[in-house]
Structures are given as C-alpha cells and as structure tokens.
A and B are shown apart, each in its own frame.
Chain A
C-alpha cells in the first residue's frame, strides 16, 4: 500500500515551472499592468491627507445610503486612524478595489456566457467549484512563482478566489428573468444582444449586484491572506501580529478590516437595490418626477381626460 503514490503534486510543479520558463514575458507584462493599477489607486488613496479621504468616503456614504450611514462610516474611519492603521487600511482598500474590479470584469461576462449557453455553463460550473473550495493559501504558491513577491500575486490569487460568486449569481440572475418577458422581446423582433441589454441585464441587476457584493467581500478576506506573500496593508499587520503573538496589534488590525468590510458591504448592497434610500436615490426619483411633468402631451392628457377607474 505504501508504494502507491500518485505524483500529482510534482506534475503540477513541473507544469508551473514549464509555464514560468516559457511564458515568462506574459507574466512580466501582467505583473507590470497589475502593479501599475495598484500603484495608481494606492497613490489616490494614500497621498491625500486622511481628512480628505474621510470626506470623500463620507459624502459617498451620504449619497448612497443616507446620513446615518455617513456618520457611522466617518466614525469607523476615525477609529482606524486612532489605532494607527490608516495607511495600511488605505493600502488594503487599494488592493481590494483593483482585485474586485478585475474580478467583476472577468466574472460578469463569464456569467452571461454561462447563462446563454448550457455547454459553457456545464464547463464553467466545475471549474468554479474547484476555485472556490481549493484552500485559498494554495493559490498563493503558483502566484508567488509566476509573479514574484509583492502585491501582484496577492491580486491574482484574490481574483481567482473571489470570482466564483460573481459568475454564479450573474448566471442565476439572467436565467431567472421571467421567460415570458424574454419571449416578448423575441416576439417583437429584438436581437439577442438587444434582449440581453434591454431586458435580461436590467432585470437581473439586483442578483448581479448581490454577486458583486460577494466578490468584494471575498476579495477583502483574501487580500488579508495575501499579506503572506508580501502584499502589504492590513494583511501584513495581521500576519506580523500572528508571528509575534501580539494581541493588541492583531485586534487593532483586525478591527480595521471589519470596519472596511462593513463599509464596502453596505455601499455595494445599496447599489443593488433599485430604490436606494440615500441622496442619489432621491435625486433619481426627483428627475423622474420632473420628466413626467415636463412632457406636454401627457400632462395635457392628465388634465383633460378623467382617469380610468383602477380596475
């Protein structure tokens, strides 16, 4: 029995080495692109003084959810600042933003493809299962080999880890759009692309946004793990506290992660629901109301024609 050994691990190792040697230039390119994107976002978040960032995030919170959430957000950010984790938090935020934007850009089209084609769905589903259940640390190893130490392996591992719910919920959202409404589009001669754009995507938006919310949450949890490969930010702080068994630092860095997570979750969750309660939702409603009264034909009708009884 002891002689039986499947050398799967060494096969994968050989394969990764082969890839590194042969396609090194491609990975160098990806590395440069991701690193550039991260540096850009990190610059935007890290360079301005903390109060400017707080102001921007506070206004964002006000616009999307309302004043209560804005006050809470600013209080949370002040706590991060107070426990001296501000710079690390901004690094982590930059990582999360870059990784989740890339994950969304990849996962939504894949989800659309899976919804349109049963064959594609049958291929994509097991791959997603694999990606989701493989222990997250394992992605770090090939990523480390391919992209060397730094933020890029962290971003790549995060994308792979966080993509799955984006694909799944996009597929689910599109597939669960009322069949009759899609048929209506077809019956009036709309092209498949037009049906996707005007019927399926708008109606699937709440589900897709739930997927995007999940992508961002998973990104955040993976970004912390990426501290292991030198991605920096709050992840590095958590790992340092683990190495030194530093309870104080561990709690403070961990709390900063939680505050960021709550902020990102509430923001993206609100974007998903059609009637956001915040300032932007209010503006949207006001605009619609104005359009109604602006249209001369319909306002004239409302005045002259008695409203039919609501039956």
Chain B
C-alpha cells in the first residue's frame, strides 16, 4: 500500500499549539519553556501542545485519543475553524494560519472539506440540496450542481432519498448525506470529526468499509478523528495517538500495536482486536525447510532429515512457491532412483498474501496441519506461519519460543532410516546451494 501513495504532502502541521484562556500566548510560551499542562492550568487550558505531522496525498491519517485529548481542537485548526495560538498549518501548499479570512474561505472551498460528528446538515434543505451545498458556495449553477449531487447521492447509497428532508432519515443515512456533501465539494482533503461515533456499531462497520472503498476509488486524503481504537486500526494507514494535548506516537497500526511508544499506548492497544490489525507479514517466520524444484529428491530428503520434519516447501526456479513434498513420497522416489521432484509436489499447503489479516488465517490454519505459506504478489515465498505462531500472535504472547520442532510437522520416518537410504543410493546430484534457505 505504502509504495503506491504519492509522496506529496497534502496537509502539514508544524508545531501547533492551541490554548484557551485570557492570555493564550503566555500559556504557549510557558509550555515551550518546558512547563507541563498541569502547571499552567491556572492560566487556562492547553488543548493542543506541539503537534507536528505530515499527511501524504491519498492517505487515511487517523488521530486517535480519548475525549479531552485535544483531537477535535486539532482537526478544527487544520481548516482554520479555530485559530492556532502558535505554529502553522499548510494545506495544499498554502499556510492557512497566515492568510486573510477571504483567502481562507477560498482554501476551504477548493481544498478541504469536513464531515461532522452530529452530521450538521441543514435541516430545512432536502438531501440533494444539502449534498450540493459545497458546490453552491463554490458558485456552480443550479442545474450542474444538482446533476453532480445526484451522482454523489447514488455513490453513497442514497438513491431515491434525494428529495427527503434530513429529519426523515435515520442516523446512518444522515451521515451518508454528510459524507456526500463533503465528497461533492470535490476537495483533495476530507476532515472527518468522529464521523461515525454517533452511529450504532453495525452501521458504523458498514460506513467504515464504505469509506475505505470510496477512498480507494477517489483517492482522497482523509484525516479521521476517533476515540475508538478498533476504528483507528481498521481505517488508518497511519495513526497519531494523542494524550493530554500531545501526540505521543505516530505510526502504522502495526507499529503502534507491536511497538508502542510508551506504557499509555501499550495499555491502550491492549484491548484491540489484534487478529484484524496484524498481517501475515508481521508474524511470519523464516522458512527453513525449503528447496528448489530442481534440487531433486535426495536434496529434499537430506533437508528434511537435517530439520527433522516430514514436509519441505518447494520453490520454482524464479523462487515462486510451487507446493510441498512429503517425506514418504520423497523416500519412494529416492528408492526408485528417480531425480525429478515434479511428480510428487502437492498443493495442499495454503498460500496467503503477506497483507492478509490474521483473522483470515484462522480457518486455513485449522484445516491443515501444515504451516501457512506467506507469499508476495509475485507468489514468492516470504515466510511461513505455523499454527503455534498464529496463536501466539493473537494472544499477544512472545513468539520467540525457540521451539522449532512444533513449527513444522515432525518427521514421520526415523532419521536412521533416511540416512540409510541416502547412504544406499548413489549421491548422483550435488545439493543445489540455493536449495536451502535460512
């Protein structure tokens, strides 16, 4: 995913501060001098303290924190609804903390729109007029904007409701209108302030999935505020965790989960549904029992003997995943003196892409005693996930058990037997150096 994102910066926040009180600048000065939030509480409230981040074009950037952590204040500074006390915000190349009110309105019309927690629809206007609101402000004529609004209404799944008033819609549908209004304005950046928090869980899930689809289709940059960690993990390409006005960690969901910056984040991520966030790539283990197809049965048998397993993975010449061979089949082949592995390669090992979520690995893992093979888009074998590794990852247990025997199916033929057979038959082919991969 990350490679496909253009490295253009859509929104940049640089040392943002927001303080409320009689003398906000004094508060900021004291904060910069190293005073804590509690120490300045007599002067006022520091809502956002020294927030810096960059949001890339086409990214979903989630700001996550509990209520009172300053996330709503932060998002309102990104489109200038609230003035910053110190620091700068750059949207599409314009520093919006330094422009006039008129230029700021221009930026809002063209570059940045917003979806609100409680929908904030105009109650006296129909759905289509609400969706067309941004276009109306941009100065588009009525016929054009209604035509465009209609396509957006269909896009967000509200076809047939265009002429209803918002009060005639359910909460989920009202938020679709809110989302439609922001999409219709056709700005690069979408700010979403707890957009799904007021919806019940089933609808929320549906809206999250729809948002991801829309984002993939339209390539918008989305800055999403939430207090729900699962939502943050599900939506975010990157997540900024806020606490008491400060950003305590910025990283991908996996980074936050596997490498929390401090105890607060660690405690926070404890309850997250790890199986949905962690991917196959993040938990897989290196493949030890692997040979190339051309290495021949003797090499396969030797590998299995050395690693004491009954199965080895087989790769094609281009290192793509071909399947597995079992010790009994190989043994027969060696006894017969054949040198070609192709006939006995089985495809009963499940191969999954590296970005597959762990939750989708449970079923294949149950169905087969073989480790799951993890491959990339070109079908190259990256690693394996034995059942025990999967369980350890979901249960957040240290994976470094070092107990290799449980990783691969244990050998079904005794080492002595294999060694005897290898000794009886002529060692007619050298082991391919590539055959064994650490």
Contact of A189 with B116 in the complex, beta carbons under 8 Å: no
CA of A307 to CA of B203 in the docked complex: distance in angstroms?
Answer: 17
A residues less than 8 Å from B105 (CB atoms):
189-191
Contact of B120 with A184 in the complex, beta carbons under 8 Å: yes
Q: What residue of chain A has the Cβ atom nearest to residue B171's Cβ?
A: A311
CB distance from A129 to the nearest CB of B (A): 27
Give B164-199 as 1s and 0s: 1 = Cβ < 8 Å from A's Cβ atoms: 000001101100000001000100000100000000
B residues less than 8 Å from A190 (CB atoms):
105, 137
CB distance from A50 to the nearest CB of B (A): 40
A160-191 residues with Cβ-Cβ distance < 8 A to B are 178, 180-181, 183-184, 186-191
B residues less than 8 Å from A297 (CB atoms):
146-147, 150, 162
A202-239 residues with Cβ-Cβ distance < 8 A to B are 202-203
CB distance from B106 to the nearest CB of A (A): 7
A residues less than 8 Å from B181 (CB atoms):
184, 188
Contact of A189 with B124 in the complex, beta carbons under 8 Å: no
A180-B118, A298-B128 known; A186 vs B162 contact (CB < 8 Å): no
CA of A302 to CA of B133 in the docked complex: distance in angstroms?
Answer: 22
Interface residues on A, range: 20 to 34
CB distance from B266 to the nearest CB of A (A): 34
Say whether A301 faces chain B, with CB atoms less than 8 Å apart: yes
CA of A298 to CA of B137 in the docked complex: distance in angstroms?
Answer: 23
CA of A295 to CA of B160 in the docked complex: distance in angstroms?
Answer: 12
A residues less than 8 Å from B133 (CB atoms):
184, 188
Q: What residue of chain B has the Cβ atom nearest to residue A191's Cβ?
A: B105
B residues less than 8 Å from A307 (CB atoms):
160-161
A184-B116, A189-B105, A307-B160 known; A202 vs B124 contact (CB < 8 Å): yes
Say whether B114 faces chain A, with CB atoms less than 8 Å apart: yes
Among listed B151-159, B250-258, B296-304, B390-398, interface-contacting one: B151-159
List 8 contacting pairs A-B, 8 Å CB cutoff, sorted by A.
A181-B123, A186-B108, A187-B81, A188-B109, A190-B105, A297-B147, A298-B128, A310-B170
Binding site for B on A (CB under 8 A): 178, 180-181, 183-184, 186-191, 194, 198-199, 202-203, 274, 291-292, 295, 297-298, 301-302, 305, 307-308, 310-311
Main secondary structure of the interface of A (DSSP, over half): helix
Contact of A180 with B137 in the complex, beta carbons under 8 Å: no
B residues less than 8 Å from A202 (CB atoms):
122, 124
Interface centre among A184, A203, A291, A307 (most CB of B within 10 A): A184
A180-B116, A183-B81 known; A203 vs B160 contact (CB < 8 Å): no
Say whether B79 faces chain A, with CB atoms less than 8 Å apart: yes
A residues less than 8 Å from B117 (CB atoms):
180
A308-B173, A311-B170 known; A292 vs B163 contact (CB < 8 Å): yes
Given A184-B133, A202-B122, A298-B162, 13 more contacts at CB 8 Å? Answer: A180-B116, A180-B119, A181-B120, A183-B76, A184-B181, A186-B108, A187-B191, A188-B108, A189-B109, A298-B160, A305-B160, A307-B161, A311-B173
CA of A264 to CA of B170 in the docked complex: distance in angstroms?
Answer: 39
